[in-house]
Copies of this chain bind each other. A is one copy, B any other.
Amino acid sequence: MNRPAGKADPVMFSLLEAARALEHRLESALAEVGLSMAKYGVVSELARAGEPLALSELAARQSCVRSNMTQLIDRLEADGLVRRVDDPTDRRSVRAAITRLGEERAAAGGRAMKRVEEEFAASIPARDRAVLARMLSGVR
């Protein structure tokens, strides 16, 4: 949690800080069901897909590098939420299959996320929401 440090408080830093606060709330909510954002991202993706996905496919969907997914799957496998299965059609490929426990956690994580999301939405005046979305979409 590192602050950019600037005496003034331009909107840019407010945005960064708000995002940090939000992220912290999400991590906390997920921690209660034994997940992190990174782990939730994978199990929810797998639950949604309904079939084992190749690690590179997962990396692409989570927009991270493959080496990161290797390690993330290592940890998820250690947690028993995911299992590595090999692809019979391509011996290079390794697919991640979600376990029963993984599915349960994904569902619980989804509920936790939804809770925070609703809490967040409630903190933004309804008619401002569209304006906010429009402004934020300009930041790329």
Contact = CB atoms under 8 A, between A and B. Distances in A.
A137 B14 contact: yes
Q: Identify the interface centre among A10, A12, A133: most chain B CB within 10 Å of its CB.
A: A12
A117 interface: yes
A19 B21 contact: no
Could you tell me the dominant secondary structure of chain A's interface residues?
helix
Interface string A28-54: 000000000110110011001000000
Given A3-B63, A11-B133, A62-B2, A18 B139 contact: yes
Interface stretch (A73-81, A87-95, A97-105, A121-129): A121-129
Interface of A: 1-7, 10-12, 14-23, 26, 37-38, 40-41, 44-45, 48, 61-64, 113, 116-117, 120-121, 123-125, 128-129, 131-133, 135-140
Pairs A-B, 8 closest by C-beta atoms:
A19-B19, A18-B139, A18-B136, A14-B136, A5-B41, A12-B120, A11-B133, A123-B138
23 contacts: A2-B37, A2-B41, A3-B61, A4-B37, A4-B40, A5-B45, A5-B48, A6-B113, A11-B120, A11-B124, A11-B132, A11-B136, A12-B22, A12-B116, A12-B117, A12-B121, A14-B132, A15-B22, A15-B136, A21-B140, A22-B139, A128-B131, A132-B132
